[in-house]
Structure 1
Amino acid sequence: MMKKLNNDLISESVLKIGSVNEVRGNKIIIKVDKEKNAPHLIYEGEIIKNVSVGSYVKITKGFNEIIGKIEGEYISDDKNLSQTEYKNFKDKIKRFLNVTLVGFIDRESDKDDVVVKFKQGLKELPLIENDCFLLTQDEFEMIHSFAKEGADLITIGTLLNETSVSIKLSVDKLFASHIGIFGNTGSGKSYTLAKLYHELINKYSKSSKFQNNAKFLLIDFNGEYAVNKKDETIIIDKEYKDRYFLSTSKLDGDRFPIPESEVNDLTFWSILLKATEQTQKPFLDSSLSKKYLIEYTKTEDGLKNLIFNNLALILTQGSKNLEKDFHVYFLDELLKVNTTECVIFSNLKEIRNRIRANLIINYGQNIFFGIDNSKEPQKFTDNLKSVVFELEIHVEKISIFSKIRLQIIFNYFYVILKGFYSREHIGPLYNRVETKFNQITKVFKIDSEDIINNKKPLTIISLNDVNVEMKKIIPLVVCKYYYEYFKKNNLSRDKYLNIIIDEAHNILSRNSIRESENWKDYRLETFEEIIKEGRKFGVFLSLSSQRPSDISDTIISQLHNYFLHRLINNKDIEAIGRTVSYLDKVSFDSLSILPQGACILAGLSADLPVVIKVDKINEGYEPYNETIVLTNNWK
C-alpha cells in the first residue's frame, strides 16, 4: 500500500504541470509551473512530450477528473518576482495555456469491477487553483478509444502524431450515418473512401446475412474505382461487386438495368427530359397514361390507325398557322425512331415520298391523287388510309423505350393540332426527345435482373465516358430508383443501403449555370430528402468532394461523420466552418496544412476531433488515382 502511495506521489509530481488560473465557462486558462517549461519530461525511464497546442490535460477537482484540449498559449512577465529571486530570464516568464474543456473521466461500478471511461461533455466545471496534469499513456489511449466494449470495429489508421495509437471505429456508429469526405485533389480523400469501404466489406463479405441485407451503390465520376472488366480488385474482389462502365459515346458500353415499372413512371421521364412543372410535365403525363396510346402502340393495326388519324387531322383540319409540310415533319419524326440496330417502319420512307409527291397543299382545298378533300372528304381520307395501311411495321422489335417515344410523338402532334397546348410551351421538351432517347438507350436497359437484392454487396457505376449532361441525370435517376425502392420495401429496416457519391459537387452544386433553376432545385431537393429522411428506411449517403463550398449547405450540415483532408481554398474552409459543428479551433486551423494521407476525423463516431493518418490499403485494392510521375516517362 505504501509503495502504491509513493508511486502515485511520484506520478503526480512528474505529470503535474500547473493549476487553473481562470474559468470562463468551458474555456479556462492554466498557469504552467515554471519548472515544467521544458519540451519533454522523464517519467518511469521514458521521455514523454510536455504540453503543446493540440494535446490534452487533466484537471482534478476532488475526485472528479476533467479533460481539456490545449488550443493556444501565451506568456507574460512575473511582476511579483523579487530581485533576489531573479536568476535567469526564464524565471521572469509566466506561461499560460488556453484550454477548452471537452469531457471527463467517469468511473462506474460494474459488479466487482470499476469501469473507467472517457465521456464527452461536462457535468461540472473546475475551480481556480485546481491542479492540472499531463495524461498518462493509458488515459491518452482511453480518450481515443471511441467504441463501446464488444462493438464491431474497423481500424482506419493511427493518430498522426502518436502512431502507436490506432484509431478504431464502431461499424454501427460510423456506417449507420451520413458520411462526408472532403479535401483538395491529391490530399488522399479517394484513398480514404476506398479504405473505409474496403475494411467494411472485406470484414463481412463472406457472411450470407451481409450479402442478403447490405447494398453499397458507388457513383464513380472519373473512373477511379472501376478501371477494366477483367480482374480489377479496387476496394474489394470482383466476386463481391457489379461494375457498369456506362458510355454515351459508344454503342458497346454497359447498360444499367432498370425494371419496366420504372420506365413507365412519370418521374423517371420528367427527370430525363427535364420537364417543367406547369406545362411540360402534364403533357408528358398524358403521353404516358392515355389508354388508347398505350393500347394502339402494341399492335400493327393500332400504329397504322394512329399514323392515319394524325395525318388526316393535319390535312383536313390543320390550322393555317401550321407549316405547309407539317405532315412530312410528322412522318420524318416517326422515321427517326428507326435505328441502324432496329428498323420498326421498314417502308415508311417510301410511303412518305408517295404522299409528298401526290399531294397538293392548299389549306381548305388539299388534293391527294386528284381527289379534293373539300369536295369529296370521305374519298380523300379513304384514299389516304389505303396508302398508310401499306406500311410494314415490325411490332415485335419495338422496345419499351421506343414505345414510349412513339406515344410522345403521337400525343405531341395530336395536342398541337387540337390546340390543347402551344408549341412554344411543349416544343422545347419535344425537341429534347430524340437526343435524350439516343443517350438513354446507350446507358439504360429494361431488365428483370434484380441488382438491388442480389448477393453482391457493391455496385459501381462508372461515368468516366458519359457526357456532362448525362453525368447529372444518371446519378439522380439511379439514386432515386434505389431510394424509392427502399422507401416502399424496407419499412422494417432489416436492409441497408449506402449511396456513395464520389466528386459529389458534380450533382449537388447550387452554382451550376448549365441547367434551369427548376431542374437544379428538383435535383437538390431529391438528395436533400434522402439525407433528411433516408435513415428511416435504412438509406445513408457518403459524399466525397474537393469542393465542399459548391455543395448545398443543407446537405453538408446533415452529415454525421466527417473525414477532412487538406483544404486550401478559403471558400471551402469557410463552408466547413459554417456547417460542421464538431470541429474545435485547433482542428479547424489545421485544415490548410494537413499532409497528404492525413485527415481530421470529427463527428458522432469520434468523441473528439482527431488528426489521423490513414493506413495503407492492402495492395491491389487502392483506387486508380495516383499522380503521374513525369520523369519516369521522360528519361
Structure 2
Amino acid sequence: MTSPSKKLGVIVGVDGTVSQVGMYSMSNDSQLLWYGDVLTGPKIGAFLTINQNDVKIIATVSSEKVVDQQNTVRSVEFDNRFHKDSINRVITLKTKGVIEENKFQVTSQYVPMVGNEVTLTTKEELDLIFGLEPGEDSIYIGNSLLEGQPINIPINKFFASHIGIFGNTGSGKSNTLHKTYLELFRSQYRSSILNCSQFFVIDFNGEYTGDNTFGLDASNKLIFEIDTRAAEAGQKMPIKKSYLFDPDILAILFDASPATQVPFLRNALRTFNNSITDEEKFAEMELGLLRSIIIGTGKVSADALENWIKAAETVGIADEILEGLKGNSSWNDYGNPVINASDGQTSILKKGQITEKGEELLKLEIIKNELSAKYKEASPIYKLSHFLEFQKVYVSAWKSTKIEFINPLFHRIKSAFESLEKVVEIKENLDACFKPMNIISLVHANQEITRLMPMLLSKMVYDEQKSTVAGNDVTQTKHLIIDEAHNILNAEYRNNGDDWQDYRLSVFEEIIKEGRKFGFYLTLSSQRPADISSTIMSQLHNYLIHRLVNEKDLKMLENTMPTLDRNSYQMIPSLGQGEAIITGNAMQVPVFVKVEKEEINRPKSDDIILTKLWTENELIELF
C-alpha cells in the first residue's frame, strides 16, 4: 500500500519553470518522519513534488521567505508584525522534470499550475529521480548530500564520454578521479575491460603510483617513472620513431627560429628519414661530404673542413684517426687548388682529385669504418644527433646558411637529446609496449620533458586508435586521463607567438572534438578550469565539480556547462571536502553527492598533518 502524501502547500504563482508555493504551515523542520521514512524537509536544494492529476512534477527549492499578512499597522500599540498567526511562508521551486507512468524524465510537457498541491518527495520518487534506465549498468560513487540516497553513475553514458573533474586543492578531486575508475574496475565487466580497453594516466605529482592504485596489480598495470634528474636512465617510455622524428615536434622541442632553423630541421629530417637506412649509408654520406669539402677547397667556406672535424669529434672519432685532416696547407697552382700534407711535401689534392698517398694520409677508409661503427652503436636518438651535426657542416660549407645562425640551435638540441635519451625508447611499433592501465609519472621530469611527453604520448596513442578504428566498428577503446590538466592545456599564450602552445592545444582540441567517434575518451582533472582552453572545456560531456571559489574558474564553468542550473552553480563555493556536483549527459538532474573515500586504496594526495610530522621527528631526535 502506498503511503499517503504529506501536503505542504499549494502553488500560488507560476513564472515559466519557476513557481511560488504558499505553505500550509511553517513546516521548517530540516527532516520529517512520515510513515517510517525520514524525508528531507523543504529547504534549499531539496526535492519537492507538485501533484497534477496523475503526473508528479519534480522541483527543487531555490529560495524561501516569509510574508507578514498584518504588516500594514505601523503604530506601536497595534503592531502585529511577526505574530504567529500573521506569518505565511513562501518558497520558490525550480522545475526539474516529471514522473509519469513510474518513470522520471526531463520534459517541458507539464508545467505547474496555480492550485496544484505540493508534497514531500518520497523515497520511491527519489529512487526514480536518481535511478537509471531499467537494466542500465552502473557504478556506485557515494550518497546524495541532502537525501542520503545511493548515487550510481551509468557506465555507458559516463565513461563513453569526455569527463571533467574540477576542484580546489584539498577538495577531493584526486580521490574522486581514482574512486570513479576504481569502481569501474570493480564492476562485473572487469575482465572484458582489461581485454578491450587501455587507460593512460598522465600524473604530474606522482599521486597514482601506488602498488594497488585503481585496484590493479603489476600484471595489468605499468608505471612509468619518468626521471630526468637521476644519473642513470630509469624506465623509458616507448615512442614510435615516426612521432619523435617529426619536424614539427622537434622544431618546437628545440625552440627553432622560423627563418633559418626550422627549414634546416625540415630538410635534415627529410634526408635522414628517406636516405639514411643503415650505418653504411650514414658513413658513405658523411665521407662523401668530407671528400667534397677537400676537393672543393676554393669553393667552400674557409672553416668547412674544421667544422667537419669538429662534427667527427662530437660523434666520437678519436684524435689519432683525425690527425691526418689537421694542419695541412693549400694554395692555388694556376687556379687549381692544391693541398699538401702537414709535412709540407706530400700532395693530398692534385688536379682536383685526392691522391693515393692522400687517401692513406687522411685515413679516409678508417674514418669511414669509424663513422659506420659509431653510428651503429648509437641509440636511435643519438643516430639523429650524429646526422644533424654533419648536416650543419653541409648547409654551411657552401654558404647557403651561416653557421652562426644554426649553432645556438645545437646547444638546445644537445640539452633536449640528453633528456630524451633518459626517458624515451624508440620503437618501430607499439605491440606489447603497454598494459591495460599505464601510469606516466612526471614528478621527477624536467620542464622540457614535462611539456613534451603528455602531448607526444597523447598524439601517438590517439593516432594509433584512429588508424585502427577508422572505417571499422569500434572493438577497442582508449581512455586518456590527465591529472592537473591546466599544466599542459593552458590557453593563455595562444596566438602570442608561442608555437609550442599552439601545436599542443591543436592536438588536444582535435582529440576532444573527434576522439569520441573513434572510441578515444578524455578525462581532465584540474584545480584551475579557467586556465584550460575554452574549446576543450566546452566539449566535455560530464562533470564532477568540487569546491571552487575563484571567480574566473566559476565563470568558466558557467559558460561551458549547459546542464548546471543557477542554484547548483551558486552552491559550488560552499561544498565541503569530498562533496561534489555531478552533472552532464549521464545524469538527468544535477546531483549533490558525498563521494565515498577509500580508506586504504587511494591516491597519495592526503593533507599533511604537520603536528603529527613534527611530533614523530621530535621522538626520533630523543632516541
**Same fold (TM > 0.5):** yes
* Unpaired runs of at least 5, structure 2: 616-623
Change (3 A) 1:96 1:270: same
Matches within 5 A, 1:458-497: 458-491=437-470, 492-497=473-478
Q: Give 1:153's aligned residue.
A: 138
Q: CA deviation at 1:244?
A: 0.9
Q: CA deviation at 1:427?
A: 5.4
Matches within 5 A, 1:205-224: 207=191, 209-224=192-207
Q: Give 2:94's aligned residue.
A: 100
Q: C-alpha distance in 2, partners of 1:40/1:204?
A: 36
Q: Would you say the 8 A contact 2:289–2:394 is kept in 1? A: no
Q: CA deviation at 1:131?
A: 1.6
Q: CA deviation at 1:396?
A: 3.0
Q: C-alpha distance in 1, partners of 2:382/2:296?
A: 23
Q: C-alpha distance in 1, partners of 2:546/2:291?
A: 64
Q: Would you say the 8 A contact 1:34–1:91 is kept in 2? A: no
CA deviation map 1:177-199 (0-9, x unaligned):
00111111111111111111111
Q: Give 2:621's aligned residue.
A: none
SS in 2 for 1:98: strand
Q: C-alpha distance in 2, partners of 1:564/1:101?
A: 22
Q: CA deviation at 1:626?
A: 1.7
Q: CA deviation at 1:589?
A: 1.4
RMSD after superposition: 3.4
Q: Percent identity?
A: 33
Q: C-alpha distance in 2, partners of 1:126/1:594?
A: 30
Change (3 A) 1:337 1:587: farther
Q: Give 2:564's aligned residue.
A: 583
Change (3 A) 1:506 1:41: closer
Greater Cα offset, 461-470 or 197-206: 197-206
Q: CA deviation at 1:486?
A: 0.7
Q: CA deviation at 1:62?
A: 2.7
Q: C-alpha distance in 1, partners of 2:292/2:94?
A: 77
Matches within 5 A, 1:326-365: 327-338=305-316, 345=317, 347=318, 349-359=319-329
TM-score (norm. length: structure 2): 0.86
Q: Residue 121 of structure 1 is aligned with which of 107, 111, 118? A: 107
TM-score (norm. length: structure 1): 0.85
Change (3 A) 1:512 1:225: farther
Q: Give 2:386's aligned residue.
A: 406
Q: Would you say the 8 A contact 1:245–1:463 is kept in 2? A: yes
| Corresponding residue pairs, total | 597
Q: Give 1:110's aligned residue.
A: none
SS in 2 for 1:439: helix
Greater Cα offset, 260-269 or 242-251: 260-269
Q: CA deviation at 1:461?
A: 0.9
Greater Cα offset, 463-472 or 231-240: 231-240
Q: C-alpha distance in 1, partners of 2:287/2:82?
A: 106
Q: C-alpha distance in 1, partners of 2:38/2:463?
A: 58
Greater Cα offset, 136-145 or 235-244: 235-244
CA deviation map 1:427-478 (0-9, x unaligned):
5544432222111111111236735786x31011111110012101011111
Q: C-alpha distance in 1, partners of 2:174/2:573?
A: 18
Q: Is 1:305 the counterpart of 2:287 in the alignment? A: yes
Matches within 5 A, 1:236-251: 236-250=216-230, 251=232
Q: C-alpha distance in 1, partners of 2:558/2:357?
A: 74
Q: C-alpha distance in 1, partners of 2:213/2:365?
A: 56
Q: C-alpha distance in 1, partners of 2:522/2:304?
A: 49
Q: Give 1:111's aligned residue.
A: none
Q: C-alpha distance in 2, partners of 1:74/1:452?
A: 64
Q: Give 1:200's aligned residue.
A: 184
SS in 2 for 1:34: coil
Give the AA of the match of 2:139.
Answer: I
Q: Would you say the 8 A contact 1:245–1:461 is kept in 2? A: yes
Q: C-alpha distance in 2, partners of 1:144/1:78?
A: 39
Give the AA of the match of 2:87.
Answer: I
Q: C-alpha distance in 1, partners of 2:297/2:322?
A: 14
Q: C-alpha distance in 2, partners of 1:316/1:71?
A: 87
Q: C-alpha distance in 2, partners of 1:60/1:41?
A: 19
Matches within 5 A, 1:131-530: 131-145=117-131, 147-163=132-148, 165-203=149-187, 207=191, 209-227=192-210, 231-233=211-213, 235-250=215-230, 251-270=232-251, 272-274=253-255, 280-290=261-271, 293-295=275-277, 297-299=279-281, 301-309=283-291, 311-312=293-294, 315-319=297-301, 325=303, 327-338=305-316, 345=317, 347=318, 349-359=319-329, 369=342, 370=344, 377-379=352-354, 383=358, 386-391=362-367, 392-393=370-371, 394=373, 395-421=375-401, 429-447=409-427, 450=430, 456-491=435-470, 492-511=473-492, 516-530=497-511
Q: C-alpha distance in 2, partners of 1:506/1:24?
A: 44
Q: C-alpha distance in 2, partners of 1:171/1:453?
A: 28
CA deviation map 1:406-442 (0-9, x unaligned):
3333333322334444657755544432222111111
Q: C-alpha distance in 2, partners of 1:290/1:387?
A: 27
SS in 2 for 1:91: coil
Q: Give 1:341's aligned residue.
A: none
Change (3 A) 1:598 1:35: closer
Q: CA deviation at 1:96?
A: 1.9
Q: Would you say the 8 A contact 1:75–1:96 is kept in 2? A: yes
Q: CA deviation at 1:17?
A: 1.6
Q: Residue 607 of structure 1 is aligned with which of 588, 592, 597? A: 588
Q: Give 1:595's aligned residue.
A: 576
Q: Give 2:620's aligned residue.
A: none
Q: C-alpha distance in 2, partners of 1:123/1:422?
A: 74
Give the AA of the match of 1:336.
Answer: T
